[in-house]
Amino acid sequence: MQLTAKVKEILSWYESDNPGTKANLARILMEGKLGGTGRMVILPVDQGFEHGPARSFAPNPAAYDPHYHFQLALDAGLNAYAAPLGMIEAGAATFAGAIPTILKVNSSNSLSTTKDQAVTGSVSDALRLGCSAIGFTIYPSSEYQFDMMEELRELTEEAKAAGLAVVVWSYPRGPMLDKTAETALDICAYAAHMAALLGAHIIKVKPPTGAISLDAAKKTYENSPVEDDAAKRIAHVVKACFNGRRLVVFSGGEAKGADALLGEARAIHAGGGNGSIVGRNAFQRPRDEALKLLSDMVDVYKA
């Protein structure tokens, strides 16, 4: 496989990584319809853990089958498929080598009141299953944020030594943040920056709104305002990720109309984000509709 100049440039940003980690990043970046462009669309399916099986899969019952998601990601020509241990294990032989996988190694669930996640997979699981990366969520601002960051530090050290890439879901939440604050621009950029500082290769955040939440940051944003435009907000988050030297993808969120999702993708593209990581908006639609939507998203990123 001939790496494109764009992918070579991206790999050069990760100056400390060993050839194994770079090869795994290249696998993800060269895969699927966006292979070689530096843009990505990834399918994450850990919602069964996070929200429960019925809330996740009842809208499209075929999605109860773990094989469905591997096949969807493959048929849509996506860059990678991310899921917790059991989901990856359930298709590991059938889909070995078919598409890069990201083992989600911690998970939350809706039967808890604490903003925390349990470690539910390991680096050796990821290696055994042929995954390209581990995925880990932190909740900046939660009462458990420092424990989560310390768990991530250990797993990141181990993953990098084993030649894996690290994908960090950085989702601010906790007692000092209300719903508006969780996706406020300053908080989102801060959360993305911390993921970069923790050594993430790929950073995943929710698309930011125009709100500014942290009192201590308000003066700075008044003096250096970010234009009220979705693409400019994405560009601000990208800047917070080492001035664009880290890959940043944005999540899809709850089920919404195709136009809204494609509008977000256009803003991510225009703002220099590297792509989308879209779960419910893909697998909760009937397969044909999902394939059409994912194909339209790929087209946005190809432009």
Contact set with ligand FBP (CB under 6 A): 44, 46-47, 50, 169, 171, 251-253, 278-281
CA 205 from centroid of its chain's CA atoms: 7
CA dihedral 125, 130, 132, 136 (to 10 degrees): -20
CA angle at 131 for the pair 127 and 135, rounded to the nearest 5°: 105
Residue 173 or 246: the one with the smaller Cβ distance to ligand FBP is: 173
CB atoms within 10 A of CB 120: 17
How would you classify the pairing of strands 118-119 and 106-107?
Answer: antiparallel
Residue 11 or 85: the one with the smaller Cβ distance to ligand FBP is: 85
| Active site (annotated) includes residue 239 | no
Of 204, 218, 219, 232, which one is the catalytic site residue?
204
Q: What is the DSSP string of 188-227?
A: HHHHHHHHHHTT-SEEEEPPP-S----HHHHHHHHHSPPP
Question: Are 100 and 135 within 8 A, CB to CB?
Answer: no
Helix axes 185-197, 230-240, angle to 10 degrees: 30
Residue 24 or 106: the one with the smaller Cβ distance to ligand FBP is: 106
Rg (CA), the chain: 18
Residue 17 or 46: the one with the smaller Cβ distance to ligand FBP is: 46
Structure tokens at 220: 């700075």
Residue 81 or 169: the one with the smaller Cβ distance to ligand FBP is: 169
Q: In sequence order, what are the beta bridge partners of 249?
A: 204, 275
Closest contact distance (angstroms) between CB of 78 and ligand FBP is 13
Question: By beta-carbon distance, which residue lies closest to ligand FBP?
Answer: 279
**Residues assigned a catalytic role:** 204
